[in-house]
Chains A and B, each alone.
Chain A
Amino acid sequence: MTTATGSGFVAVVGLGTTGTHIVRTLTENSTGPALRRLHLHDRESEAVARSRQIAATTSTTISTGPLNALSGEQPDVVILATDCGTHADAASQALTRGSHVVSISDDPDEVLALLAFDERAAGRNLSLVVGAGMAPGLSCLLARLAGDGLDRVDAINLAKAGTGGPACARRHHHALKQPGRDWVGGGWELRRGGSGRDLAWFPEPIGARDCYRAALPGPILLHRQYPDARRLSARVSATRRDRFTSWLPMLRKPHQDGGPGAIRAEVRGVRDGAAETVVLAVMAHPSVSAGAVAANAARAVLGGRAPVGAHGLARWPEPGRFLQELHPYGITVSAFGGGQMNTGPWQLTEPVESPGAGADNG
């Protein structure tokens, strides 16, 4: 585990839609380690001014500018919320300067590059939290929480609906035309993006969405925690238009915020010798939830609760506690189960009927 830091100095690099929510969550949160100083940086001065205004309501000292221009005191934690493709270099520099790093990158190649810093980070007693957003991030926490309820995990399927800010929408568009990486029966399989339609049910008001393979890093991060699982896969919701136009550049400017979305983790395994499936989900705005997850990860690192080395949130030591800490931000975990909702006993899984008593499935 990391050691708790007393100075409470956090830097947020990248102040787009999600970065702004990271700043808001960091400054609103009055529990946990005190945030003494906040350093903000973005290539757009308007974004810096907007985040500075949000943080100005607190007693936290605020500074701005590129990280490499900082002289003297270095941040305890650097949160990287920039576009994908920039995180590996930035993380490398931050580790060299002795800072912990929290990255929200959802690019599989970049996630692999960040995980390759494991020994380097561990050697410096630093934590590099990889994929601390909604998916990956919240999805990994849900999978881990569900997996902890089982004796053995055989298969995990993640599904995500919705996008955050413009960078997230561009990434979603790009991911659909790249192959998805699934762990199947002890090896990685690359499968065409946009294939493998799966109807996934999310909590209302998202409901049922068709989800498809895409270049998503969830299975890579889950494999670190569940190397013996038979199947690890991830899908993302897409419309016919998304799939049809995935090979083209984005035809119109993405929304400033993609609106409400959801994340879902279906975990299959064995408990007490019987097959079991646990399905957990969260309905939330992707940018808000990603911001809350990243900010909370940074707070946990400051408090000395993060493992050292490079790791995703599937390897977080206390997934339940992490999710409890997200609850005040409206990130509520739902479980899919059987029984009479609200009117009778509700249980997370359907009771298994004794042999011969079940319906004849022909």
Chain B
Amino acid sequence: MLTLVRRVMAALGLAGLIATLFRLRGSGGVPPQTGGWQELTPAELADLKPLLVPPPSSNN
């Protein structure tokens, strides 16, 4: 019985340690705070390309 308790405690402790490491090491980033759905005008439907952000230049 004591062996089982010790194993459970060890497993929980290890899980907690891993979770703490993940919590401290990784920020997880910040979810987008802006943006959303935007209705397109009939003129914009003709060609979406002007709405696309230009790709970053290669010397960045």
Contacts and interface: CB of A to CB of B under 8 A. Distances in A.
Contact of B55 (A272, A278, A334): A272
B52 A276 contact: yes
A338 interface: yes
B13 to A, nearest CB: 22
Contact of A348 (B48, B55, B56): B48
Interface residues of A, number: 42
Interface in A268-308: 271-274, 276, 278, 281
A361 to B, nearest CB: 5
Interface stretch (A130-138, A174-182, A250-258, A316-324): A316-324
Contact of A149 (B28, B37, B48, B54): B48
Contacts of B47: 149, 320
A273 B53 contact: no
B52 A149 contact: yes
Given A338-B35, A354-B60, A359-B27, A320 B46 contact: yes
B23 to A, nearest CB: 10
Contacts of B46: 320-321, 324
Contacts of A145: 45, 48
Contacts of B4: none
B42 A324 contact: yes
B25 to A, nearest CB: 6
B52 A323 contact: no
Given A278-B48, A324-B45, A360-B27, A338 B55 contact: no
A146 B39 CA distance: 14
A146 B45 CA distance: 10
Contacts, number: 102
Contacts of A69: none
A351 B52 CA distance: 9
Interface in B8-60: 22, 25-30, 32, 34-40, 42, 45-49, 51-56, 60
B60 A359 contact: no
A362 B53 contact: no
B49 A149 contact: yes
A281 B55 CA distance: 24
A339 interface: yes
A350 interface: yes
A334 B53 contact: no
Nearest to A343: B34
A336 B40 CA distance: 10
A264 to B, nearest CB: 10
A335 B51 contact: yes
A338 B48 CA distance: 15
A30 interface: no
Contacts of A89: none
A274 B57 CA distance: 10
A334 B40 CA distance: 6
Interface string A329-362: 0001111111111000011111111110001111
A323 B46 CA distance: 9
B48 A341 contact: no
A258 to B, nearest CB: 21
Given A278-B48, A334-B37, A336-B36, A349 B26 contact: no
Contact of A360 (B26, B42, B53): B26
13 contacts: A273-B55, A278-B52, A333-B40, A333-B45, A335-B40, A341-B35, A349-B53, A350-B32, A351-B53, A351-B56, A355-B60, A359-B27, A360-B27
Interface of B: 22, 25-30, 32, 34-40, 42, 45-49, 51-56, 60
Given A323-B45, A348-B53, A354-B60, 4 more contacts: A327-B45, A333-B40, A335-B51, A338-B34
Q: What 7 A-B pairs have minimum CB-CB distances, sorted nearest first? A: A362-B26, A348-B51, A354-B60, A274-B55, A149-B48, A338-B35, A359-B29
